Amino acid sequence: MLSETLSKGLGGYAIGEKVHALRLKKKMGLVELGRHTGLSAAMISKVERGKLFPTLPTLFRIGLVFNVGLEYFFSDERKRHVVSIVRKAERQRFPERPDQRDISFYFESLDFRAMERRLNAYYAEFQPLLPGTARPHHHPGVEFLSVLQGTLELRIGTEDYTLDAGDSIYFDSTVPHSYRRVSSKPCAAIVVSAP
């Protein structure tokens, strides 16, 4: 029997609720989870309802079924930073590549304060370049770009695309791509990449 202090402390982690949510997400019944873990359906039910706190080996077995580690169960949701704000004055401006001439763009991270990011968001200001001087780059995942002002030319693979203010594009960023401002007016965009 756990003391009231231990029960209250462990209750804050909502372990049972997390097990229940994982099971529902996989559309798995109590009996099926029991078969995978070697635990009884009644025991799993007690864990999910917060009537029983599992031992670490038991919790580890449950985590293996759902491909999560013990840390998943012991992260305190109340302390997670689910909201992150970056003020304009806090952003820092960086060139696409330090110590290079012919910079294609400067960027500012819009989400650097966010924990456990699932995407990366940037404000980018594009520079005028001579045709053929933009250096292609590539990275895992996909990219979304929305032009805020000016006219931007993108080369993706061997194809060229011209975007004006208000236009947007989504593409596979594993394909080599480059950016070039083609107007004399300033050109800026929001760029979001996701692995």
Question: Per-residue confidence of the chain (195 residues) as pLDDT tens digits?
Answer: 677 887 787 877 889 999 999 999 889 999 999 999 999 999 999 999 989 999 999 999 999 999 888 888 887 655 555 678 889 999 889 988 777 777 889 999 998 887 767 899 999 999 887 777 778 999 999 999 999 999 999 999 999 999 999 999 999 999 999 999 988 899 999 999 998
Instruction: List Cα–Cα distances, 79 to 6, 15, 16, 82, 185, in angstroms.
Output: 19, 15, 18, 9, 45
Beta partners for 154?
161, 179
What are the backbone dihedrals phi and psi of residue 59, each rounded to the nearest 5 degrees, phi first? Answer: -65, -35
Answer whether 0.85 is exceeded by the pTM: no
Domains located in the chain, CATH noted: 4-79 (1.10.260.40), 88-194 (2.60.120.10)
User: Which residues are registered as beta bridge partners of 43?
Assistant: none
Question: Rounded to 10 degrees, what is the CA torsion of 108, 110, 116, 120?
Answer: -70
Are the beta carbons of 55 and 101 closer than 8 angstroms? Answer: no
Alpha-carbon span 89 to 74, nearest angstrom: 35
For residue 193, the surrounding DSSP H or E stretch is strand 187-194
Residues 6+ apart with CB under 8 A from 62: 19, 22, 33, 37, 39, 44, 47, 54
Alpha-helical runs (H) found in 26-86? 30-37, 41-48, 56-66, 70-74
**Structure confidence at residue 110 (pLDDT):** 94
Instruction: For residue 173, give every residue at least 6 positions away whose Cβ sits within 8 Å of its Cβ, in sequence order, or none.
Output: 138, 139, 140, 141, 142, 143, 193
DSSP for 101-137?
SS--EEEEES-TT-SS-SSEEEEEEE-B--TT-PPPB
Cα–Cα distances in angstroms (integers) from residue 194 to residues 14, 142, 144, 148, in the given order: 30, 6, 9, 20
For residue 44, what pLDDT is reported?
94
